Structure 1
């Protein structure tokens, strides 16, 4: 079932670019209708109050700081809804393909919905600073059906060797999927002026 939602040819092309540049952006890995269903799921969960204010800081010492990170999140659990389980099944397919392509030994994936209300963003950070955690590959799948330039909310990706140098600014359009090495790239979510939806996560090399 999940492979019907994934274009494996486009996924392989993404991995080739990931191998060359340590990051990659694709618009064709996930089926557009599937992305719309995921967007509607995120909107429904937020409207029902099931997303929680995101926190920052090391495990065991988490705090909320809206001026640094303004999104609301919900970690995916395959038991909660069919669409979430279907997406997690897709991520397992991608994990297997990453291991086949890169021999990374990735053992699991974690993922959450992220909903940024207007006027919110996420300051520059690295997902795995100094290689201190088991997060190896970051992904973000954007779920914004009618994104316009004036809406903001782009992902700014910076040069690992010169952290003030902007490498790319990724528009959060429906179906855009970015992969990058979790230990390398400083990145930030620019302030959004309209609700901004995505699925974010990490492929990890540790077991539960």
Structure 2
């Protein structure tokens, strides 16, 4: 794939942000384990575990006036991060540092970040989709952060990533292991969430080009 991103090499960037920006510049995506400090990851997991199930709501599909809930297309439930809890604040602050590092080195013009907790009950899924339509969305960069300790291969729930709309086979299948982070260009990679065999949790987020 052709990705035209400029690298600025005179900025001091923490190693993990350096790794992420380099991978995005070269490949358009990055998969990194042990992404956040262990205490931050554990606090997020504990916080998420204490959220009542009733607070998670079904997510819609489509755009604007055509937005609707379609459980044949996606069956996850979600809760937006509001930044009130300390664990959420720390996560959002980490993402803000990543936003600044990416803008410094890749000049993407990322302006805001939004994110929600995502819960996939057993056998829940999200069929193949793209997070942004070419030229029609201000979502530029997608993040998926996993909160599933002791996740085994047989538990399923992988993120399947495709090189483009025409690809029939995934080029990456990512298990939702605890403290694993996936970052990718929102317009470039169709993807899907395969059914899991037990509860699967993550934080899905988007760096955007504007306020809305």
Between the aligned partners of 1:148 and 1:32, the Cα distance in structure 2 is 20
* Aligned-pair CA distance for 1:196: 0.4
Q: Give the alignment partner of residue 84 of structure 1, picking from 81, 88, 100.
A: 88
Gaps of 5+ in 2: 1-12
Between the aligned partners of 2:133 and 2:67, the Cα distance in structure 1 is 16
Q: Which residue of 2 aligns with 1:4?
A: none
Structure 2 vs 1, CA of residues 165 and 207 (structure 1 numbering), >3 Å: closer, same or farther? same
Structure with the higher fraction of residues in strand conformation? 1
Does 2:160 align with 1:156? Answer: yes
* Aligned-pair CA distance for 1:114: 0.4
Gaps of 5+ in 1: 1-6
* Aligned-pair CA distance for 1:164: 1.3
SS at match of 1:129: coil
TM-score computed with the length of structure 1 as normaliser: 0.91
Does 2:29 align with 1:54? Answer: no
Tell me how large the CA RMSD over aligned residues is. Answer: 1.5
Between the aligned partners of 1:118 and 1:86, the Cα distance in structure 2 is 29
SS at match of 1:166: coil
Does 2:173 align with 1:169? Answer: yes
Between the aligned partners of 1:93 and 1:166, the Cα distance in structure 2 is 31
Q: Which residue of 2 aligns with 1:104?
A: 108
Aligned pairs, number: 200
Structure 2 vs 1, CA of residues 168 and 46 (structure 1 numbering), >3 Å: closer, same or farther? farther
Contact 1:8 / 1:29 at 8 angstroms: preserved in 2? no
* Aligned-pair CA distance for 1:50: 1.3
Between the aligned partners of 1:42 and 1:70, the Cα distance in structure 2 is 19
Deviations 1:73-112 (A, max 9, x none): 111112x312112211111111111101101111100111
TM-score computed with the length of structure 2 as normaliser: 0.89
* Aligned-pair CA distance for 1:40: 2.0
* Aligned-pair CA distance for 1:46: 4.0
